[in-house]
Structure 1
Amino acid sequence: MSSPTSSSRTEVMLLDPACTREDAAAVIGRAVVGGYAAVCLPPTLFPLRDAPEDLRLVSVAGYPTGKHHPLIKASEAHMAVVNGAHEVHAVLDTANVVAGDLNAMISEIVTLREAVPYPAVLRVSPGEDGTGGDLDGDRVRVFCRAAVTAGADMVWARTDNDVAAMLEAVAGSTVAVAAPVDRAGVARVRVFADDLGHGI
C-alpha cells in the first residue's frame, strides 16, 4: 500500500499487542520523516518520551470491540491524556450503535468527554471493521447525533460507505470525520504502521 498523498492529515496506527517502546519509537520516527499528522499507539506505551511537539499523539479506549464497562473505558482514556495523549480514539459499545440507542450512546460519550477534557480531542467510533456488521444510514445518523449532542470532537467512519453519511450527519456542527480512506471532507486518514513497510 502506498502512503496517502495527504500526509498532513494522516495518522499512523500501531496497536499490535506485542509492540514495544522501541517499535513505538520507530513508528514515531517514520511519521516525522513522512510528514504525518499523528501516531496512534496503545495506552500502555504512554508516556512517550522524545516525541516531537508538533506530532499529534493518539491513544485508544475500548479498542477494538467497545465491550468494556464505560467507567473502565473512561479511565483508560483519562490515563492516556494525563500521560501525554492529545487525542483518544474511543470505541463505543457496538450493540448500542446497532440498536440505535441514542440515550445509551450519549451517556457513554458524556462519560468519555468528562475523562478527556479539552483541549484533548475525543474521537468516537461505532466499532472497528468486522464488528457489528455494516451500519445503515439511519444508524449512522443516530450515532453522529449522539456524538454531536454529547460533545465529541470527531467521529470515526469504519468504511468508505459510512463517510458520506457521516459528513452529511455532522454538517453544521464542529464535529469532524476521520476515516480509513482519503477523500474530500475527511479530517484525518488512518493507515496501519505495517502498510508503510517500516519493517516492524
Structure 2
Amino acid sequence: MDRAEFAARIDHTVLGPTTTPGDVERVLDEAERHGMNACIPPCYVDEAADYAPDVTLATVVGFPHGQHSTAAKHEEAVDAWQNGADELDMVINVGRLKAGEDERVETDIAEVVAAVPVPVKVIIETALLDQSEKRRACEAAVDAGADFVKTSTGFADGGATVEDVELMAEYLPVKASGGVGSYAEAMAMFDAGAERIGASAGVELVEGFPADGGA
C-alpha cells in the first residue's frame, strides 16, 4: 500500500476523560492534513462534523466498559449517527460474556447494528478475555451483523497483539487498537490481518511511513 492508503486505514483517536474541544479540533486538523479518519468522544460529534466535514468521523458507544443498558446503547448510537458520525465503535458487555450470557451479548450488539445505517465496530476488550471468550465474542459480533471487531478500548491493561488480530480476523475485519505507536507496529497489525488501526499516535504512524514506500 502507498502512504495515502496507509493513512486512510488509521483512525486518529482522542478519547481520554480530559479531552477538550481544542483536543478534538487538533485531532481533526491532523486527520485532515494526513488523510486519516478520526475517532472522538460522542459529546463532540456534532461540532466535529461541522468543523471537519471531509474527515471520516468515528465515535464510541457504551464506552469504555460496555455496561450501559442495551436501550442506552441504542439511543447513544442513534444520537451519534444523527449528529454526523460515519462509524460507531461499541463496547460489548464483558461481564455478560464471562457469565456465559452470549445471547444477551449478541442482542446488545444487534440492537446497535439495527439502529443505524453506518458501520459498527465491536470492541471486545481482548486483554480481559481468554481465548475461548475472544472467539465467543467474535461469534456474537458476526451473528449480530456487525461490520468489524476491534481489540481494545485502550483503557484496560493491554492492547492489540498480533496473536489476537490473527484470531479475530478469522471472523470479521479487524480494527487493532491499543498501544500501536509506530509505523512498524501498525504494519505488524496489518500483516496479521487488521484492516484498520486505532491510535492516538496517528501522526507518528503516518510520518513513519518510509520515503521509499516500504520497498
Q: Same fold (TM over 0.5)?
A: yes
How far apart are residue 156 of structure 1 and its match?
Answer: 0.6
Partner in structure 1 of residue 164 of structure 2: 162
How far apart are residue 17 of structure 1 and its match?
Answer: 2.5
**Contact 2:34–2:203 (CA<8 Å) still a contact in 1?**
no
* Alpha-carbon distance in structure 2 between the residues aligned to 1:7 and 1:97: 34
| SS of corresponding position for 1:64 | coil
**Contact 2:126–2:134 (CA<8 Å) still a contact in 1?**
no
* Alpha-carbon distance in structure 2 between the residues aligned to 1:193 and 1:186: 17
| Bigger share in helix | 2
Decide which of 193, 198, 202 is 1:190's aligned counterpart.
198
* Alpha-carbon distance in structure 2 between the residues aligned to 1:178 and 1:16: 19
1:39-96: CA deviation from partner (whole Å, max 9, x where unpaired): 111111121213142x210010111111111111221111010100001110011112
**Contact 1:67–1:93 (CA<8 Å) still a contact in 2?**
yes
User: Does 2:125 match 1:127?
Assistant: yes
**Contact 1:65–1:128 (CA<8 Å) still a contact in 2?**
no
* Alpha-carbon distance in structure 2 between the residues aligned to 1:149 and 1:125: 15
Partner in structure 2 of residue 84 of structure 1: 84
How far apart are residue 142 of structure 1 and its match?
Answer: 1.2
| SS of corresponding position for 1:65 | coil
| SS of corresponding position for 1:6 | helix
Alignment of 1:172-191 (within 5 A): 175-180=172-177, 181=186, 182-184=189-191, 185-191=193-199
1:3-42: CA deviation from partner (whole Å, max 9, x where unpaired): xx93221111111233222221111111122221x11111
**Percent identity of equivalent pairs:** 30
User: Does 2:143 match 1:144?
Assistant: no
Q: Which segment drifts farther, 7-16 or 93-102?
A: 93-102
* Alpha-carbon distance in structure 1 between the residues aligned to 2:98 and 2:122: 15
How far apart are residue 101 of structure 1 and its match?
Answer: 2.8
TM-score by length of 2: 0.76
User: 5+ residue gaps in structure 2?
Assistant: 153-159, 178-185, 205-215
Structure 2 CA distance for partners of 1:157 and 1:128, relative to 1, 3 Å: closer
How far apart are residue 97 of structure 1 and its match?
Answer: 2.6
* Alpha-carbon distance in structure 2 between the residues aligned to 1:8 and 1:25: 19
How far apart are residue 167 of structure 1 and its match?
Answer: 1.0
| SS of corresponding position for 1:88 | strand
| SS of corresponding position for 2:51 | coil
TM-score by length of 1: 0.81
Q: Which segment drifts farther, 101-110 or 15-24?
A: 15-24
